[in-house]
Amino acid sequence: MKGKFPIDKFRKLRTPFYYYDTELLRKTLKTINSEAGKHEGFIVHYAIKANANPKILNIICQNSLGADCVSGGEIEASIKAGFPANKIVFAGVGKSDWEIKLGLEKNILCFNVESIAELEVINDIAASMNKVASVAFRINPNVSAHTHANITTGLAENKFGIAMHDMEGAIEEAAKMKNIKFTGLHFHIGSQILDMGDFEALCNRINDLQDELEKHHIKVENINVGGGLGIDYQHPNRMPIPDFKDYFDTYAHHLRLRPWQKLHFELGRAVVAQCGTLITKTLYIKKGTAKQFAIVDAGMTDLIRPALYQAYHKIENISSEEDNDTYDVVGPICESSDVFAKAVDLNKSHRGDFMAIRSAGAYGEIMASQYNCRKLPKGYTSEEMGVES
C-alpha cells in the first residue's frame, strides 16, 4: 500500500489529517452520472452532511449533482461551492426560522417537511416574505433497513418524518395554505444499506402509497427516495466504487414511476467515503500483559464513528513492510472509548510510522470536534499535493 500514498509529502504535514483521492472521487461521480443517466427522470443530489470540505464540494458541484442540505449552514456552503439554488433540497426535523428564511431568499428547489407544525411555520414565514414555498412531505414508510440502529430512520415511530396514516391529511392541509406548493413525497430509510431488498421494500411501499393517493385524485410531481447506499468498509481496495448500477436499476425495475414524475436521490456516504483516508502517526508502542497497543495521534475527535457506532475502518501501516503483528489501535483522548480497532493485524509498527485509516471520507472530517482542546484536522487533496493520476 505504500505506493498509494505520497508518504514523502506526508512527512511535511502535521498529523492527523485527512487525505482525499480526488481521482477516485471523480471516477465515482462519473459512474453515478453514467448509471443514473440511463434512466429517465433520475436526479442525484449530494448529501452535504457526509463531507462539506470546500474542495470536495467544488468537485461534486462541477459534476452537476444537486445538493441535499439539513441546515442553513449547509445551504450557505452549497451556494458558496457553486451549487445552483434550484438544485438544493432542504431537509431536517428542526429547521430554525432563519434557516427557512434563507431557503426562501435563495429560492431553493424544495423544503422536505417533517411535521404539520413545521409546515405551518414555513407558510407563515413565506407569507411574510411574499413567497411561495415548494414542499415535499417526508413520510415514514415503516421499512426496516438492515443497518445500525442509530442510522435507521424509516420506522413508523421516529423523530423524523410524518406517519403514513397522516400523509393525506398533511397534503390536504398544504392545499389550504396560500404560500405553500405541494410538490412531492420524500423518504429515507437509513444509511449504510447493502441489501437491495431494503430498497425494493421501499419501492413497494411507495407504489402502494401512490395508488392510494391517486384514488383521491392526488398526483405527485416528485418522488425523493433519499440515499442510504452503503460501501465496502472491509475491502476498500477491492470495491472502491459502490455498485451504483444495481442501486439505480433496483429503483428503475421496482418503483412504478409515473411518466410525469422525477425521481430524486440523496447520496452521501457512497459518493465520498472511499476517497478519504485519515492519516495518523504512531506515537508509542505500548506492551501490555496479553496485548500491545499502537497509540496514534488521531483520536475520536478526528474520527468519531468507531466510538459512536462501533464502526469498522480498515487500518494499514503504510510505513512498514515487516511481518504482521497484532495491536489495539488507540488514540490519545481521555476516554476509554477512544479506540479505532482491537486485535488488528498490522505490519510490525514503530514510533513515527504512518497509519492510514481507510474509508473515512464520509462522516469523518465533518464530525470532528475540539474536545480536549485539540485542533481540528485539516483536509488535503491528492491534486494539491501534486499526486499524478
CB atoms closer than 10 angstroms to residue 127: 15
The conformational region for residue 69 under phi > 0 = left, psi -120 to 50 = alpha, else beta, is beta
User: Residue 144: what pLDDT?
Assistant: 64
The Cα 100–Cα 125 span in angstroms is 8
Are residues 231 and 242 in contact, defined by beta-carbon separation less than 8 angstroms?
Answer: yes
Burial environment of residue 148 by CB neighbours within 10 A (0 to 12, 13 to 18, 19 or more): middle
Is there a single domain that holds both residue 203 and residue 324? no
55: domain CATH number? 3.20.20.10
Are residues 235 and 147 in contact, defined by beta-carbon separation less than 8 angstroms?
Answer: no
Residue with cell 495521534: 297
Q: Considering 254, 271, 288, which residue would you say is the last residue of a domain?
A: 271
User: Residue 288: what pLDDT?
Assistant: 87
Q: Considering 271, 295, 315, which residue would you say is the last residue of a domain?
A: 271
User: Residue 143: what pLDDT?
Assistant: 83
What pTM, to 2 d.p., does this model score?
A: 0.94
Is there a single domain that holds both residue 126 and residue 111? yes
Residue with cell 390536504: 172
Task: Quote the number of domains for the chain.
Answer: 2
Q: Considering 227, 251, 271, which residue would you say is the last residue of a domain?
A: 271
> The domain containing residue 171 runs over which residues?
22-271
Is there a single domain that holds both residue 147 and residue 205? yes
Mean pLDDT of the chain: 94
Question: Among residues of the chain, what percentage have pLDDT more than 70?
Answer: 95
Residue 50 placed within a domain: yes
Residue 386 placed within a domain: no
Residues of the chain with pLDDT under 50: 1-2, 147-148, 150-156
H or E element that contains 205: helix 196-215
The Cα 190–Cα 198 span in angstroms is 10
H or E element that contains 343: strand 339-347
Burial environment of residue 197 by CB neighbours within 10 A (0 to 12, 13 to 18, 19 or more): exposed
Is there a single domain that holds both residue 255 and residue 340? no
User: Residue 4: what pLDDT?
Assistant: 84
Q: Shortest CA distance to 250 belongs to which of 208, 204, 189?
A: 204
The Cα 255–Cα 266 span in angstroms is 16
Is there a single domain that holds both residue 285 and residue 143? no
User: Residue 158: what pLDDT?
Assistant: 56
- What DSSP character marks residue 68? E
Distance (Å) of CA 223 to CA 184, 240, 261: 6, 29, 7
- What DSSP character marks residue 52? -
Is there a single domain that holds both residue 26 and residue 162? yes
351: domain CATH number? 2.40.37.10
Residue 261 placed within a domain: yes
What is the b/e burial string over 153-171, where b = at least 16 CB atoms within 10 angstroms of the residue's CB? bbbeeeebbbebebbeebb
Q: Where are the alpha helices (DSSP H) in 92-166?
A: 97-106, 116-128
The Cα 75–Cα 70 span in angstroms is 8
Burial environment of residue 55 by CB neighbours within 10 A (0 to 12, 13 to 18, 19 or more): middle
Burial environment of residue 254 by CB neighbours within 10 A (0 to 12, 13 to 18, 19 or more): middle
Q: How do residues 10-40 score in pLDDT, each as one tens digit?
A: 999 999 999 999 999 999 999 999 999 999 9
User: Residue 3: what pLDDT?
Assistant: 53
The Cα 307–Cα 148 span in angstroms is 13
Amino acid identity for residue 34 in this structure: S
Residue 387 placed within a domain: no
